[in-house]
Chain A
Amino acid sequence: MLCTICDNITLKSLNLSLGYEHMPSFHALKISADDGLCSLCCILWRAVDAQHAQEEMKRLDEGDDEEEDDMFMDYPVRLVADGMIYENRARGLKKLRDSHYDRADKSGGSGVDAHALYRLRTEKAPAMLLVCSLQPDTFQPGLRLKTRGSASLYREPRKSKIRL
């Protein structure tokens, strides 16, 4: 069962640069997930929570033991499809190839985001659904997207060539 907000998701809005306006805050998402009435909200909150826990652990691991505020909980939730093949796989491939970037680390690289290519090449590979917020950036003027979690997004049930 889906809540009204999740039920109104459209492919077009997911592919907008600022994504689909999902919930007014992460608090609201959490409450919806805790109620257990919307299965998508449950998945999205689990993704956010897991990502947050992972970041916390990494931060502590790197020696930063100051408590981080949970300010992000007040920001609105947006859903953005990342790498989704929107009915034009060839166009997606071209776009990716045009946007080569170099990995400047010592190990070098092919200059192409190999894993993004892999996603586009394989039928069964999913795109990513980013659960984002729009946050003021202290260092740069304006707003920017801040990822808070991610879930898998795909157009068809995963296929395989299993023969019975």
Chain B
Amino acid sequence: MIHANQYELTIYVPTLGIDIFNGDPYAGRQISSHANSATCFKLIAHWIRECIAEHKHCKRVVCPYSWTDDFESWARSPSYVSSSGSEVSGSSPAVGSLSTENLHSIGPPAVPEVDFDTSDSDTSGRPTKRARTSPPSPTTQPEDPGNVSARFGQSPTTKQSNQQRLKEAAAKQLAKTSSLEKRSPLSKGVLCSTEHAPKRGKDGSIDDGCYQLYPRSEQLRDMQISSWRYSSVNMPAESAPLLPTRYIHVDSNPPQLCLADSDSRGYYIALSHCWGKSRPLVTTTATLADHMKGIPVKNMPQTFRDALVIARELGLEYLWIDSLCILQDSREDWEKESARMGSVYGNAFLTISAGASDDSEQGIFRPRPVRPGPPVEVRCNDSDFEPIYIDYRANNTPFEEPQSTDSRAWCFQEMALSPRVIVYGREMLGWLCDSTTDVEHGSVAEHEEDPSPPLLAPRLNSKPAENPLQNAGSLFELFHYSHERERQVGRWASMVNAFSRRKLTRESDRLPALSGIVKELQLQTGDEYLAGLWRQDIWHDLQWDVDILFADKDAEWRRPVTYRAPSWSWASIEGPIYMDLHPSELEKAHGDVSPPADDVRLLDAKIYTVGHNPYGELRGGYLKLSTRLWKAVLRPRQNSQYTNPKYWLQPEKKWRDKRRVDRSFEVQTPDGMRMGMCTIDMPDERDWDATDLWWAKLDVHSSGLLITKADGEDAFVRVGTASASGEKPNDSPQFPETEIVEIILI
């Protein structure tokens, strides 16, 4: 029998040698976890080495934000209106007019040229710690409304010149940051070719928790007993990415909060973690000066200390932690930095996801539950004495078992945008990059068929499948899309579906928490972002539904307390949303994902933001549509399996069916002619018998929105979606003739 005490190792780890750090994170730490064992760091180094050396796709997406990191260089939506009221652009150009060239150089003309003079850096390659002399100011200058090229791009000459200068500056910077002469011994980590070993054990022996590690392979066991000579990792040949505005210099004593120059570059680690109920150590305007002198390690919560250990072990000297690198009491700074968060995580060399920690006091290296015994070797008589192995099958990898970070909305884009993520799961380490996933025991266990959207963030830049078999089974590439447009739509839909399930502390953060992904997507597609929807796919995206099919039993839906988004946006509802992942076959035949009918047009679209982040909080917005309207009334569903008492006897269906019965109605004309079915967003919001409703046509199938007049305004609000259907499956209902009208949806 297996006894827990056989596997419980408690190691007292003193600080050996010269105590070069005050309050060293290793000092006096009772380690009862093996996630911080040297073998795990070797495994991480192995994953990093594989990624850098062999993953061509990952190389392609290194440093995707080099040209658009400045706050004022957001790709402006034609409909974006800043809170100051100055309109960035007037008319809405056809989306098709945005050429591919423009997409690479998106940005307003007021973008200041980056000065690549690196003379301010000191000889160690470490950027000098001084604040930006001229912080970027939000750009709200009006532009010529008709000049698309002026709005979206720099001139080709300027672009080439900048690229040349960027390359030169990057080469200089890389040469400097590669130098390790000035760095402390502890910072020579596993990514460097060095004899350095993590200090472990009083007698110098190194404990790896051999018996607690998953038996990835014989080679991993060899790794545990091998000498501490690491293979060096050649950092990517591409230029090091820009450092975030503030970062923590790990090699300082104590670690210091530093301000980056606008051209400071380097490889850094970002931390993705749950704050929890207790507020962790934060930087405010009052503590900024102190933190720039040094942040005592003893004041840091355990998760931050463990992140320092990882950074030091891996040999990376810069660390980014949101609570320390963003001023938490400055609304302006928070807005500015949260808008940049996408580029912070996108540019990070590595992101640490503290998946097993519910709050920052728990630490990254959590004690693991005792694992079952090793696999059993069975020597079958009929297999030429080749053994088979039978092992307890547990869905305990970080990608199968829900982690604390999986339910937090802010962690969504942190996982989706980071080029490489190490997940410290409850039972094992997980690796995630744009090309592959891997786990500590070396085998991604079978993943159950689950039609519900994944809680994990789909990778934004994941390697596209070349054939149906290539990415089949990857946890982040759920379906194979044969058409690029189809893939884009499916990718966004799966993101909305997963993101809307995640929880937020502040309701108003729903759109800002997605802004990093939106920014990247807009750079890739050049499309216009409209409060959670894309203009190019507006007919598809408008048909989102409250997710009554796949949401958990405990899921609830409600309107946010304060205004968050127009009624036609999914962000106007707090709760799980379902956006269709697949366009129909008919739509694919048209070459577009959701071709609008001839009589349906989007005339205008505007959103009004609260601050300067065009993808952030909203204070209003509207769509101006030209479409056909039919007066409609709601009737209870007839002859449906959901209203059949026999069906209700099945207990496992009860709660799910109640949702459907509450929200699903038959739609008829006032004359009693059946038009189709509808799903109401918030059934308790109105008295539906006393509400005037209209069916607004959206696509060739006459699917549409159910709308009603807004209170006190000459505009409409969305109350649900409607789909045309006859009484029998193949019947198509006949709609009465109506004229095309222009409506405004708010």
The residue from B46, B394, B473 contacting A162, defined by CB atoms under 8 A apart: B46
Contact indicator B451/A103 (Cβ below 8 Å): yes
Q: How many A-B residue pairs have CB under 8 A?
A: 166
Q: Is A117 an interface residue (CB 8 A)?
A: yes
**CB-CB under 8 A for A150 and B393, given A2-B378, A11-B380, A105-B451:** yes
Which B residues lie within 8 Å of A125 (CB)?
Answer: 443-444, 446
Least Cβ–Cβ distance between B290 and chain A, in angstroms: 44
Interface residues of B in 453-478 (CB under 8 A from A): 453, 468-469, 472-474, 478
**B474 adjacent to A118 (CB under 8 Å):** yes
* B137 interfacial contact with A, CB 8 Å: no
Binds A, one of B76-84, B243-251, B382-390, B622-630: B382-390
Mask for B616-656, Cβ within 8 A of A = 1, else 0? 00000000000000000000000000000000000110110
B325 CB to closest chain A CB (Å) equals: 34
Given contacts A62-B655, A63-B651, 15 further A-B contacts (CB under 8 A): A2-B376, A10-B381, A11-B380, A47-B392, A59-B652, A63-B655, A114-B478, A115-B472, A125-B446, A128-B446, A152-B390, A155-B389, A158-B216, A159-B219, A160-B217
Stretch at the interface among B220-228, B301-309, B360-368, B724-732: B220-228
Query: Which B540-562 residues have C-beta < 8 A from chain A?
Result: 549, 553
Whether, in the assembled complex, A107 has its beta carbon less than 8 Å from a beta carbon of chain B, the answer is: yes
- Shortest distance in angstroms between A87's beta carbon and chain B's nearest beta carbon? 9
Q: Does A145 contact B (CB under 8 A)?
A: no
CB-CB nearest 5 A-B residue pairs = A118-B473, A114-B472, A108-B582, A62-B652, A64-B651
Asked if B389 and A121 sit within 8 Å, CB to CB, the answer is no
Chain B neighbourhood of A12, CB < 8 A: 382
B231 within 8 A of A: yes
Interface string of A57-68 (1 = CB under 8 A from B): 001011110000
B710 at the interface (CB under 8 A from A): no
Distance in angstroms between the alpha carbons of A40 and B376 in the assembled complex: 6
Q: B581's contact among A107, A129, A151, A161, by CB below 8 Å, is which?
A: A107
In the complex, whether B684 has a CB less than 8 A from a CB of chain A is no
Q: Would you list 21 pairs from A and B whose C-beta atoms are within 8 A, ordered by A residue?
A: A36-B1, A39-B376, A40-B378, A50-B394, A62-B655, A63-B652, A103-B449, A107-B451, A110-B472, A110-B480, A114-B472, A115-B448, A118-B472, A119-B473, A125-B444, A151-B391, A152-B392, A152-B445, A155-B389, A162-B46, A163-B46
B389 and chain A: residue at smallest CB distance: A154
Residues of A within 8 A of B (CB): 2, 6-12, 36, 39-40, 42-43, 46-47, 50, 59, 61-64, 103, 105-110, 112-115, 117-119, 121, 124-126, 128-129, 150-164
> B380–A115 contact, CB under 8 A?
no
A113 to chain B, nearest CB (A): 8
Cα-based distance from A12 to B350 in the complex (angstroms):
47
B391 with A152: CB separation less than 8 A: yes
B441 at the interface (CB under 8 A from A): yes
Q: Is the CB of B382 within 8 A of A10?
A: yes
Residue of A nearest to B388 (CB): A155
Given A36-B1, A158-B441, A119-B446 contact (CB < 8 Å): yes
**CB-CB < 8 A to B592: which residues of A?**
none
Q: A39 touching B480 by the CB < 8 A rule? A: no
- Residues of B with C-beta under 8 A to A112: 468-469, 472
Give the docked Cα–Cα distance between A32 and B382 (Å).
25
**A153 and B442: CB pair below 8 A?**
no
A residues in contact with B372, CB < 8 Å: 43, 46
The complex places the Cα of A70 from the Cα of B521 at a distance, in Å, of 53
> CB-nearest residue of chain B relative to A12?
B382
Which residues 490-514 in B have Cβ within 8 Å of A in the complex?
Answer: none
Contact check, B393 vs A47: say whether CB atoms are below 8 A apart: yes
> Residues of B contacting A110 with CB < 8 Å?
468, 472, 479-480
In whole Å, how far is B435's beta carbon from the nearest beta carbon of chain A?
Answer: 14
Cα distance A129–B380 when bound, in Å?
15
Q: Chain B residues with Cβ under 8 A from A103's Cβ?
A: 449, 451
Cα A106 to Cα B473 in complex, Å, equals 19
Chain B CB within 10 A, most for which of A8, A105, A115: A115
Residues A62 and B582 in contact in the complex (CB < 8 Å), given A117-B472, A157-B389: no
Question: How far does the alpha carbon of A93 sit from the alpha carbon of B627 in the complex, in Å?
Answer: 50
Q: By the criterion CB–CB under 8 Å, are A114 and B553 in contact? A: no
Are A109 and B472 also in contact (CB < 8 A) when A43-B392, A151-B390 are? Answer: no
B692 beta carbon closer than 8 Å to chain A: no
Interface size class of B (residues with CB under 8 A): 35 or more
Bound complex: CA A164 to CA B217 (Å): 13
In contact, B446 and A164 (Cβ under 8 angstroms): no
Q: Which residues of B contact A114 (CB under 8 A)?
A: 472-473, 478
- Measured between beta carbons, the chain A residues less than 8 angstroms from B381 are 8, 10
- Tell whether A159 pairs with B217 under 8 Å between CB atoms, given A39-B373, A40-B376: yes
Q: How distant is the Cα of A61 from the Cα of B652 in the complex, in angstroms?
A: 9
Structural contact, B390 and A43, CB atoms closer than 8 A: yes
| Residues of the B chain whose Cβ atoms lie less than 8 Å from the Cβ of A8 | 381
Residues in A with CB closer than 8 Å to B474 are 118
Q: Which residues of A contact B478 (CB under 8 A)?
A: 114
Q: How far is it, in angstroms, between the C-alpha of A59 and the C-alpha of B390 when the chains are bound?
A: 29
**Inside 8 A of A43's CB, which chain B residues have their CB?**
372-373, 376, 390-392
Interface centre among B383, B388, B549 (most CB of A within 10 A): B388
Q: Contact: A128 with B393, CB < 8 Å?
A: yes
Distance of A19 from chain B, by nearest CB (Å)? 14
Measured CB to CB, the nearest residue on chain A to B391 is A152
CB of B390 within 8 A of CB of A124, answer no
Q: How far is the CA of A162 from the CA of B380 in the complex (A)?
A: 29
Q: In the complex, are the beta carbons of B473 and A126 less than 8 A apart?
A: no
Central interface residue in B451, B473, B478, by most chain A CB within 10 Å: B473
Q: For A126, what are the chain B residues with a Cβ–Cβ distance below 8 Å?
A: 391, 393, 443, 445-446
Is there contact, CB below 8 Å, between A153 and B390? yes
Contacts of A109 in B (CB 8 A): 479
Minimum CB distance partner of A44 in chain B: B390
Q: Is B218 part of the contact surface with A, judged by Cβ < 8 Å?
A: yes
Complex CA gap A157/B380 in Å reads 15
**CB contact list, B329-384 vs A, under 8 A:** 372-373, 375-376, 378, 380-383
- Collect the chain A residues with CB atoms within 8 Å of residue B393's CB: 47, 126, 128-129, 150-152
- Which residue of A has the minimal Cβ distance to B438? A160
B383 contacts which chain A residues (CB < 8 A)?
10-11
Interface residues of B in 549-588 (CB under 8 A from A): 549, 553, 578, 580-582
Do A153 and B392 touch (CB < 8 A)?
A: no
Q: Which of A62, A108, A118 lies in contact with B553, CB distance below 8 A?
A: A62
- Minimum Cβ distance to chain B for residue A149 (Å): 9
CB distance from A37 to the nearest CB of B (A): 10
Q: Which residues of B contact A7 (CB under 8 A)?
A: 378
What A residues does B279 contact at CB under 8 A? Answer: none
Interface centre among B382, B390, B445 (most CB of A within 10 A): B390
Report chain B residues within 8 Å CB of A154. 388-389, 391
> What are the residues of chain B within 8 A of A50 when measuring CB–CB?
394
Cβ of A36 to closest chain B Cβ, rounded Å: 4
Choose one: B226, B446, B480; the contact of A115 (CB below 8 Å): B446
Is there a chain A Cβ closer than 8 Å to B101's Cβ?
no
User: Residue of B at shortest CB range from A117?
Assistant: B472
Residue of B nearest to A123 (CB): B443
Query: What's the minimum C-beta distance from A27 to chain B, rounded to whole angstroms?
Result: 19
Smallest Cβ-Cβ distance to B449: which chain A residue: A115
A158→B654 CA distance, assembly (Å): 44
